[in-house]
Structure 1
């Protein structure tokens, strides 16, 4: 064997070892995540002596799959105090107004207030909508939630009970996938259930993460006024995360109760799924670049496959050194990911979403993770924005980057 060939064989060997070590550590992380998901917050906080009245803020834009059922779930809350639901749109011709009118007809006992205002307060249109509808909220406890969220009848009781605990300035909720559609929607829901949800649970359980998610952000009116309202968030990409940071700066914490609300996944094509999840990845990278980079450990299967492949190319003592450990680690990584899905399904009473697609889903998620480091552009409707430090700035009108992210909402 020539010197150059020997050097390449040695490099291949050590790269194989490195990849297999990463895969082993990553598999242990997945196993730990499965345990933490299974045990997460089984205790219920005590309910307040008197439940306060609540205003729910719902920024809307156009119709979307499952929207009527999502909104109806908020109208069907089993809550012992007054509930106001404020629904906001920015265009008087928006077809979503017809859905709001139908809800008002079906739930005459509920206070459903529609706010139509095209006032723009910054580059983040969702926050502009929140500023407009927030002026119509009448109660002291405020709960904002994205339009693609569906909840159980006890949702409001549990969120407000958590908010009433000492030292809690805000409440946010985990969410699971709720597929509406075919293969790509189910694949999207699988990512939520087996990647996003366990990563958040693990981070919270180990004190390594302080999430605040658009699924739910609950707080009081005095807290909102103390942080200057929604206006400071008008140019933020990750407005929910920024809102949580500001609530924590008041000297309290943002609690994560032991429930998971439903997040509708309705992607119809591979292209739609790719761009939607790539925007998520870039959002996470913008607010926590170090944590995002370190999350490579949560992708053990690609490293196990790469280590397996490199090992089969390395002759050492007449044997392929990584055939057995590489194959075993691939199987271990897949089983640990499936265990996470099963633990989440049992803990939060979820349906299994194509659990046999876990290997393909893992490889796709790793591809999105890698792609998230190449480009800083996101697209909201027809507008392109550059993301810098979590802040949106208008991109050039003639910008045509191949990595522009398309989405119906930023969060």
Structure 2
């Protein structure tokens, strides 16, 4: 038995070394690919199409007004409808929308206040309630924590024009809005998740669809069944992308970044947020998610020290250098320092723990609601489970 355990530990040690070494190579290559991908960006001409911007809202986020205002200051010559959806009459986001209307009196800003519930997802219920009020043929959906540059619509519309493109989505950089933990989360998404995403897109290994932007025509939205089809999907953005691809259309990811705001004020809040992300990706793309481990060379290298100290320490040093190259390239591309460099290394440790934990999670927290994960990416709200148990 001791001999078997020794051999098992020996194999795990070598596995950790191999994974860490691959991770160092991957991180270095991904940093280069990231910089080159966005270096290919070119200015897009100002457009005249009529566009509806969909904004499902919930609560008054720290910079919600600024986020929404960035969509009203576009270099765009056509009609733009900003359609906001809110489900509660006492939601403070209502006052933010009112402030926007006062500050931009010429803007076409509509508010749908409807608490009707459709399925387990509050966000999708909101979108389903908003859908009948869409007025224009180009629809651009984005989360409330997204802020954009003035050429955002021009870039989106140009990408949507390309042959066989049915949907456009955007890569995002993290922005910390509420202190330490929000910056810590921004470091993780920018120096790790975003890096892997661009590497996959650039090498045609991934065709993501993310809530940062989902742009399509109203006809395409109709053909995929409208928002109602996704009412019980946790990864609703991924499911919309898959539905568009099932039509024989492709997803475009232009060389453009938007900002994704983090507002977590505690470790617990950030942990819940990122655990939900991890569990969601695990359910929709299990084997690619397993491979994400190579994006965490430092914690894997640290674990290899337990088995092969000398090799492990060398790999740790190389992993640190590779991650610092990532930080430098990402910050240079984004045009600002997202977070202190050491946060990238510290967040790798948290990501490793989250990665392990995500394989054992069957329920997630979503804005205070507990959602239980079922088969095929479906979710059920906790109150619905309780009602079903009571009826039984």
Per-residue deviation, residues 68-115 of structure 1 (Å, max 9, x unmatched)? 110111111111111110001011221111110010000011100111
| C-alpha deviation, 1:344, in angstroms | 1.6
Residues 1:396 and 1:352: Cα distance change in structure 2 (over 3 Å):
closer
SS of the aligned residue for 1:310 comes to: coil
Residues 1:381 and 1:397: Cα distance change in structure 2 (over 3 Å):
farther
Q: Do residues 338 (structure 1) and 324 (structure 2) align?
A: yes
| C-alpha distance in 1 between matches for 2:384 and 2:70 | 40
Q: Do residues 232 (structure 1) and 229 (structure 2) align?
A: yes
| C-alpha distance in 1 between matches for 2:180 and 2:303 | 27
Q: Do residues 350 (structure 1) and 336 (structure 2) align?
A: yes
| C-alpha distance in 2 between matches for 1:7 and 1:248 | 48
Count the aligned residue pairs.
385
Scaled by the length of structure 2, the TM-score of the pair is 0.93
Within a 5 Å distance, the mapping from 1:116-155 to structure 2 comes to: 116-155=113-152
Per-residue deviation, residues 141-195 of structure 1 (Å, max 9, x unmatched)? 0000000001111111111111111111110000001111221111100001111
Aligned to 1:57: 54
Aligned to 1:319: none
| C-alpha distance in 1 between matches for 2:14 and 2:227 | 50
| C-alpha deviation, 1:13, in angstroms | 4.1
What do you get for the CA RMSD once the two structures are aligned? 2.0
| C-alpha distance in 2 between matches for 1:137 and 1:398 | 33
Aligned to 1:367: 353
Question: Gaps spanning 5+ residues in structure 2: where?
Answer: 387-392
| C-alpha deviation, 1:48, in angstroms | 7.1
- Decide which structure has the larger Cα Rg and report it: 1
| C-alpha deviation, 1:357, in angstroms | 2.4
Aligned to 1:394: 381
SS of the aligned residue for 2:71 comes to: helix
SS of the aligned residue for 1:84 comes to: strand
Which of the pair is proportionally richer in helix?
Answer: 2
| C-alpha deviation, 1:395, in angstroms | 3.6
| C-alpha deviation, 1:50, in angstroms | 5.5
Question: Gaps spanning 5+ residues in structure 1: where?
Answer: 312-321, 400-411
2:74 is aligned, of 51, 74, 77, to: 77
